[in-house]
């Protein structure tokens, strides 16, 4: 083996080692989710054990788990659908019919994403209280829409700008109206961009914890808040906690794996080429 | 290029759609839920308003700001915030850079290994706090305690003894993937010819890294630092679910302090004043990021 080959091989081994270390805490969580409560806190830690679905079953069949899971789905999916509905026309307008103000407008939209949530939480909380929107999952979805709108607009805008104008112009010459042009010409072309914007938006909304902790309680709280209720588990219910956490993170982790390429584009707003 | 062409050859007005209806809803929603609330935050920061005693309201000038600025807790929180953001930045950029270089090369199973490395970024912050706090750092049942005992050391109660370091570790674990992915994207836009030329000129691996890769990455790194700063300034859930700002004030950051003032003590005015500081802190960085994004927007396609 030449020296170059050896270095290459060593670097590869190092990359695998890094992957193992970074993933280990997640692996450990998943493992604990398949243990019984006694095994979960056993010292020395048990690597080999009789896996049981008991904790997962228990987590899933608890009546409130279903409610929180549903809340997570409503707030993540609902906010993403609404964000797409608002962002598609906006990105279309800015990409195909830019004016002198377009760039400033786009930058302004992006700048709203850079506003820390604590900067607006107090008035939003008071408004929600007065409207009786506290602990309402649809109201939470509205906040998530606002939170993700800049990311979705940006992702779509960056994609729309690459669509050849000739295609759109041809449709216009053929007498297509704007809704027709959008629905029949642009959207079919944009399925990949819309999918990646949607994935990113779902991931961000699903994992969001500041707004959900402060705006929801028993009825509307998503999984993030439910899982946070395990924070005082000093050696108690670790298997249940792990099972509940595992089910809470698995769906979006898979989405994250699928969206890893678009992640950079969506979260950097084109600051990195 | 398309951008400029359209700008220089505008379509006849009749063919342009009414952008008011296309853009209006999105813009309106953002104004109503981000700009107006911020103005209200400013308004509350100059008023006395305690949710437990709502009758006693009124304009108090800069009193809220003064009470914050003279409160040592506020300065502790600012310091903690800066320590947290600074340490996480250092760790994530350094480790992210190393990982990006490792994953830049092609090797069998790279896609799988990269997927494993970036997974922590998709873990809900609350869950990662629970994993670290309980299963890894717990002084009795935690994995670290077991390892320490195996090495003949006394197990450490991490979150009690080294609270800030523990939070930094937890948050770094989540943000290393972000830094790595961005830097990897930057690396992949590096031209192969440049590296070849350096090799022919007799550069060794270190020189190649130091004099070609690092300067090329300077812009990427500055973007990583700025974006991470903006996101890290808002870290909340990790602290909420692991230390609740303690022990004492050891991990109370600015967002957590504002949360305590608003929803623990119900002092809306003081919390709003703190929020104004948080926005100022974020904006110092955001201005630079936005300028960079604006430059790239003008530079044609992205």
CATH value at residue A229: 1.10.3720.10
The count of residues in chain B is 302
Its pTM stands at: 0.87
In terms of domains, do B261 and B300 share one?
A: yes
**Residue A52: inside a domain, yes or no?**
no
**Residue B11: inside a domain, yes or no?**
no
Q: Provide the pLDDT for residue A150.
A: 92
Q: Which of B40, B74, B124, B256 to mutate to test the interface with A (most CBs of A within 10 A)?
A: B124
Tell if the CB–CB gap between B114 and A162 is shorter than 8 Å: no
Q: Which of B28, B100, B135 to mutate to test the interface with A (most CBs of A within 10 A)?
A: B135
Q: Provide the pLDDT for residue B5.
A: 46
**Residue B280: inside a domain, yes or no?**
yes
Q: Provide the pLDDT for residue A273.
A: 66
How many other C-beta atoms lie within 10 A of the C-beta of residue B132?
26
Q: Beta partners for B267?
A: B50
**Residue B7: inside a domain, yes or no?**
no
**Residue B156: inside a domain, yes or no?**
yes
Tell if the CB–CB gap between B297 and A267 is shorter than 8 Å: no
CA distance A29 to A32: 5
pLDDT tens readout for residues B22-67: 888 999 999 999 999 999 999 989 888 888 877 788 888 888 899 8
**What's the whole-number mean pLDDT along residues B98-123?**
90
In terms of domains, do B96 and B220 share one?
A: yes
3-state secondary structure of A170: helix
Most confidently predicted of A94-103, A225-234, B141-150, B252-261: B252-261
pLDDT at A176 over 80: no
In terms of domains, do B101 and B205 share one?
A: yes
**Residue B28: inside a domain, yes or no?**
no
List Cβ<8 Å contacts ≥24 apart for B294-301: B294/A103, B294/A107, B296/A270, B296/A271, B296/A273, B297/A103, B297/A106, B297/A107, B297/A270, B298/A103, B300/B1, B300/B3, B300/B4, B301/A161, B301/A162, B301/B1, B301/B2, B301/B3
The count of residues in chain A is 273
Find chain B residues with C-beta within 8 A of A124's C-beta: 33, 37
Shortest Cα distance from A1 to chain B (angstroms)?
17
Shortest Cα distance from B51 to chain A (angstroms)?
10
- And the tokens for A97? 């019919």
The confidence band for A234, taking pLDDT boundaries of 50, 70 and 90, is: low
In terms of domains, do B259 and B199 share one?
A: no
Enter the ipTM: 0.86
Average pLDDT of chain A, as a whole number: 86
In terms of domains, do B94 and B174 share one?
A: yes
Q: Which of A5, A13, A16, A19 to mutate to test the interface with B (most CBs of B within 10 A)?
A: A19
Check if the beta carbon of residue A84 is closer than 8 Å to that of residue A152.
Answer: yes
Domain around A164 = 62-268
Find chain A residues with C-beta within 8 A of B283's C-beta: 114
In terms of domains, do B154 and B214 share one?
A: yes
pLDDT at B207 over 50: yes
Shortest Cα distance from B10 to chain A (angstroms)?
8
Find chain A residues with C-beta within 8 A of B7's C-beta: 98
Find chain A residues with C-beta within 8 A of B123's C-beta: 26, 207, 249, 253
Domain around B284 = 253-302
pLDDT at A83 over 80: yes
pLDDT at B200 over 80: yes
pLDDT at A163 over 80: yes
**What's the whole-number mean pLDDT along residues A87-109?**
89
Q: Provide the pLDDT for residue A145.
A: 95
In terms of domains, do B221 and B269 share one?
A: no
pLDDT at B227 over 80: yes
**Residue A172: inside a domain, yes or no?**
yes
Least confident of A225-239, B101-115, B228-242: A225-239
pLDDT at B7 over 60: no
How many other C-beta atoms lie within 10 A of the C-beta of residue A175?
7
Of A122, A162, A257, the CB nearest to B271: A122
The domain tally of chain B equals 2
Check if the beta carbon of residue A203 is closer than 8 Å to that of residue A256.
Answer: yes
- Greater confidence (B13 vs A180) lies with A180
Average pLDDT of chain B, as a whole number: 85
Of B103, B182, B275, the CB nearest to A268: B182
The confidence band for A86, taking pLDDT boundaries of 50, 70 and 90, is: very high
Q: Provide the pLDDT for residue B302.
A: 41
3-state secondary structure of A51: coil
Tell if the CB–CB gap between A8 and B109 is shorter than 8 Å: no
CA distance B125 to B237: 6
**Residue B273: inside a domain, yes or no?**
yes
Q: Provide the pLDDT for residue A235.
A: 61
The domain tally of chain A equals 1
**What's the whole-number mean pLDDT along residues B131-140?**
83
Q: For residue A233, give the nearest of A9, A2, A55 by alpha carbon.
A: A55
């Amino acid at each position: 083996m030449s020296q170059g080959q050896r270095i290459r091989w060593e670097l590869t081994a190092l990359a695998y080692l890094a992957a193992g270390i970074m993933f280990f805490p997640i692996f450990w969580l998943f493992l604990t989710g398949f243990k019984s409560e006694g095994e979960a806190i056993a010292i020395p830690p048990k690597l080999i054990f009789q896996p049981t679905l008991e904790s997962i079953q228990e987590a899933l069949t608890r009546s409130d788990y279903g409610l929180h899971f549903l809340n997570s789905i409503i707030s993540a999916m609902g906010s993403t659908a609404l964000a797409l509905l608002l962002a598609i026309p906006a990105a279309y307008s800015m990409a195909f019919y830019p004016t002198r103000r377009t760039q400033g407008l786009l930058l302004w939209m992006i700048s709203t994403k850079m506003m820390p949530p604590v900067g607006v939480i107090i008035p939003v909380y008071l408004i929600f209280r007065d409207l009786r929107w506290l602990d309402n999952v649809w109201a939470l979805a509205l906040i998530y829409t606002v939170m993700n709108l800049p990311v979705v607009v940006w992702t779509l805008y960056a994609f729309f700008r690459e669509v050849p104008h000739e295609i759109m112009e041809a449709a216009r010459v053929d007498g297509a109206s704007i809704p027709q042009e959008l629905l029949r010409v642009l959207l079919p072309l944009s399925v990949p961009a819309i999918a990646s914007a949607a994935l990113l938006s779902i991931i961000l909304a699903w994992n969001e914890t500041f707004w959900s902790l402060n705006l929801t309680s028993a009825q509307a709280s998503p999984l993030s808040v439910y899982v946070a209720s395990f924070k005082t588990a000093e050696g108690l219910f670790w298997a249940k906690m792990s099972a509940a956490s595992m089910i809470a993170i698995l769906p979006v982790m898979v989405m994250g794996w699928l969206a890893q390429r678009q992640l950079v584009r969506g979260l950097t707003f084109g600051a990195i080429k | 290029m398309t951008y400029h062409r359209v700008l220089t050859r505008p379509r006849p007005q009749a063919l342009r759609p009414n952008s008011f209806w296309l853009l209006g809803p999105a813009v309106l929603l953002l104004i109503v839920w981000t700009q107006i609330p911020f103005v209200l935050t400013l308004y509350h920061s100059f008023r006395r308003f305690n949710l437990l005693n709502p009758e006693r309201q009124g304009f108090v000038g800069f009193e809220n700001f003064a009470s914050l600025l003279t409160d040592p807790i506020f300065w502790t929180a600012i310091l903690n915030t800066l320590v947290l953001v600074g340490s996480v930045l250092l760790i994530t950029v350094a480790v992210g850079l190393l990982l990006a270089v490792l994953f830049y090369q092609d090797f069998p199973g790279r896609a799988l290994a990269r997927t494993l490395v970036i997974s922590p970024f998709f873990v809900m912050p609350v869950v990662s706090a629970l994993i670290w706090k309980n299963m890894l750092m717990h002084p009795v049942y935690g994995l670290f305690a077991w390892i320490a005992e195996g090495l003949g050391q006394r197990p450490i109660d991490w979150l009690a003894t080294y609270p800030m370091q523990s939070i930094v570790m937890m948050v770094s674990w989540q943000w290393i993937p972000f830094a790595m992915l961005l830097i990897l994207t930057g690396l992949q836009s590096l031209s192969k010819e440049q590296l070849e030329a350096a090799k022919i000129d007799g550069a060794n691996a270190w020189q190649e890294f130091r004099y070609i890769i690092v300067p090329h990455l300077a812009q990427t790194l500055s973007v990583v630092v700025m974006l991470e700063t903006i996101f890290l300034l808002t870290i909340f859930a990790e602290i909420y679910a692991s230390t609740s700002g303690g022990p004492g004030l050891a991990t109370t950051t600015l967002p957590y302090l504002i949360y305590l003032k608003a929803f623990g003590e119900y002092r809306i005015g003081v919390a709003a004043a703190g929020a104004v500081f948080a926005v100022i802190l974020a904006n110092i960085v955001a201005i630079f990021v936005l300028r960079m994004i604006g430059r790239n927007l003008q530079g044609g396609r992205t």
